[in-house]
Amino acid sequence: MNRHKRKGLMWFRADLRTVDNTALSSACSRSDEVHAIFIATPMQWHEHHVAPIQIDFIRRRLVVLSEQLAALGIPLSVIEVADFDAVPDAILSFANEQQIDHVYCNKQYEWNEIQRDHHVGQCLLNNQIKFSAFDDQCVIPPGDVLTQKGDPYKVFTPFRREWIKVYRQKDQAPLPRIEPKQSVSDHSSSVNPVSPLTLEGLLTLTYPTVDSMAWPVDEEAIRQRLLMFCEDKVRDYHEDRDTPSIDGTSRLSPYLATGMLSPRQCIAALQPFFPDGIVEDKQGPFCWLNEIIWREFYRHLMVAFPAISRNQPFQPWSRRLPWLSDEALLAAWQQGRTGFPIVDAAMRQLLHTGWMHNRLRMITASFLTKDLLIHWQVGEQWFSRHLIDGDLASNNGGWQWASSTGTDAQPYFRVFNPTTQGEKVDPKGEFIRTWVHELQDVPDKYIHQPHAWPEAVQGNVLLDYPLPIVDHKQARVRAIDIFKTAKEMH
Ligand code: FAD
């Protein structure tokens, strides 16, 4: 009997891996032949401030992914369309051309992506093509961690407790490796093999100075990074994680943000530390797991409160905050010329590498929103345009946390002191000296307040380094006053 051949299409988005990929596993197990597609939307990326370094990273990964998929008998095509509006037609015409009967993908939770998928689903269904979208970005899907009353959590600690309970009840092991399919031999004209030049044109956006080469994209290297972190560093994570001069965090965020690695794989690598299941404690492995759960928390919030991904503050009262607009101060922050060494070192690390240490993200975000009173969305956008790990949920969550406008955010009256924070996280100024070369020769005693170094002794050493652009003490009082007033008007 000549049975109808089931042809599936795997639509890759923020899940650029073959291992532990729910949609891909499903496509493979339910189809006789599988094709894969990635749709680049340069206009959309530009409008949503996706960093060119992240685009470069994705571009490099697509080349590797296409080779891996080819070994599984799955051809990957990369199609470029201007923006999300053009996606439904692009998928439909590809599906028609390849006689696809079922399209598979993993859900994305941002507002625009949800709308796009809704339109794609409708368009395919109207043409008798099935469409399945799976929860895969989180270990526990959004909507599955709820209060007794069935509401979403707005505070992290109870969310984490419930998350652990739900986790214990579910089988969360990574999916088995997929078996190779019979090769798709008759590629038709629309199959665009992925070459190193694919998407090269997308890199003509701003900020071409940093490429992503410091971040390997082959699967084995990513796996090794995770395993080495769990073998060598995770035990001390609780002690080292706040010291930027120590390489004490995993630096896996770019892989998690683009789906080159799944959070399930991360937790599986932690299993040896939890032979009897997850137990809350203050040790490194749990502390690291806690961060993975923060990642989940922000995604769950984004689904429960879609306004978050539509540029709205979580706390309505915060709309009354009289944010300032000062181009000179903003530029000083962006370029790392505020006169506060830890802030400047962090901002230059971001400019030169496309990545910034978590503690420093908190300090620089607090500085922009509290000391300079510049809107958190301005900072969120700048981070997004420069981070290799840019991710709407975590970036927005981090900014709204630091600016006290989010759920379970830092209380508004706690304002980071950039000088004492520097002394705490970089006592000898090693990190500062790495990034702020003007301060190379400043003695430890003055490294956090170079302007306090007596002029008679310093000579010309500090000529190129700016004086502090604000008086932190006064800025703190101003911020608390303004936040208090906005909140009390509620
Ligand atoms: P590790 O310390 O090794 O943590 C492991 C993983 O847990 C990370 O890779 C990340 O996926 C997750 N994680 C860790 N901390 C957080 C957190 N606070 N919130 C959510 N997830 C977390 N993270 C992003 O991935 N993309 C962003 O765009 C982003 N923007 C941020 C903006 C601000 C203002 C702040 C305060 C934080 C932001 N974070 C963001 C969270 C955090 O700073 C980074 O995830 C972390 O620095 C990445 O380094 P790592 O991989 O070594 O983390």
In tens, the pLDDT along 104-145 reads 999 999 999 999 999 999 999 999 999 999 999 999 999 999
pLDDT tens digits, 262-297: 999 999 999 999 999 999 999 999 999 999 999 999
Q: Is the pLDDT of residue 490 over 70?
A: no
453 is a catalytic site residue: no
Q: Which amino acid is at 477?
A: V
Instruction: Compute, in angstroms, the gap from residue 258 CA to the centroid of ligand 1.
Output: 13
Residue 226 to residue 416: CA distance in whole angstroms: 32
Residue nearest to atom 2 of ligand 1 (CA): 249
Instruction: Compute, in angstroms, the gap from residue 490 CA to the centroid of ligand 1.
Output: 32
Given a contact cutoff of 8 angstroms between Cβ atoms, the answer to whether 413 and 421 are in contact is: no
pLDDT for residue 202: 52
- What is the sign of the dihedral through the CA atoms of 36, 194, 118 and 163? positive
Question: What percent of the chain has pLDDT above 70?
Answer: 93
Residue nearest to atom 15 of ligand 1 (CA): 291
Q: Does 257 contact ligand 1 (Cβ within 6 A)?
A: yes
pLDDT for residue 205: 46
Q: Does 386 contact ligand 1 (Cβ within 6 A)?
A: no
Residue nearest to atom 20 of ligand 1 (CA): 295
With vertex at residue 266, the alpha carbon angle to CA 303 and CA 276, rounded to the nearest 5 degrees, is: 105
CB atoms within 10 A of CB 9: 26
> Where are the alpha helices (H) located in 103-216, listed in sequence order?
111-126, 156-169
Instruction: Compute, in angstroms, the gap from residue 358 CA to the centroid of ligand 1.
Output: 6
Instruction: Compute, in angstroms, the gap from residue 488 CA to the centroid of ligand 1.
Output: 32
> 């080819």: which residue's tokens?
70
Instruction: Compute, in angstroms, the gap from residue 279 CA to the centroid of ligand 1.
Output: 22
Paired strand residues for 130: 102
The three-state secondary structure class of 137 is coil
Selected catalytic residue, list 113, 323, 423, 430: 323
Residue 184 to residue 488: CA distance in whole angstroms: 65
Binding-site members are 237, 249-253, 288, 291-298, 389-391
Q: Does 6 contact ligand 1 (Cβ within 6 A)?
A: no
399 is a catalytic site residue: yes
Residue nearest to atom 29 of ligand 1 (CA): 395
Answer yes or no: is the ipTM higher than 0.90.
Answer: yes
Residue 387 to residue 326: CA distance in whole angstroms: 23
Given a contact cutoff of 8 angstroms between Cβ atoms, the answer to whether 251 and 237 are in contact is: no
Paired strand residues for 445: none
Least confident segment among 103-107, 168-172, 262-266, 410-414: 168-172
Given a contact cutoff of 8 angstroms between Cβ atoms, the answer to whether 225 and 233 are in contact is: no
> 């979208």: which residue's tokens?
133
323 is a catalytic site residue: yes
Which residues are within 8 A (CB) of 320 and not within 5 positions of it... i.e. 6 or more apart? Answer: 486, 489
Selected catalytic residue, list 11, 163, 215, 294: 294
Query: What token pair was written down for 156?
Result: 């992290």
200 is a catalytic site residue: no
Q: Note the pTM of the prediction, 2 decimals.
A: 0.96
pLDDT, averaged across the chain: 92
Paired strand residues for 152: 146
Which residues are within 8 A (CB) of 289 and not within 5 positions of it... i.e. 6 or more apart? Answer: 267, 270, 278
In this structure, what DSSP letter does residue 133 have? E
Q: Does 294 contact ligand 1 (Cβ within 6 A)?
A: yes
CB atoms within 10 A of CB 352: 13
CB atoms within 10 A of CB 324: 13
| Atom from ligand 1 closest to the CA of residue 250 | 3
- What is the sign of the dihedral through the CA atoms of 65, 68, 72 and 75? positive
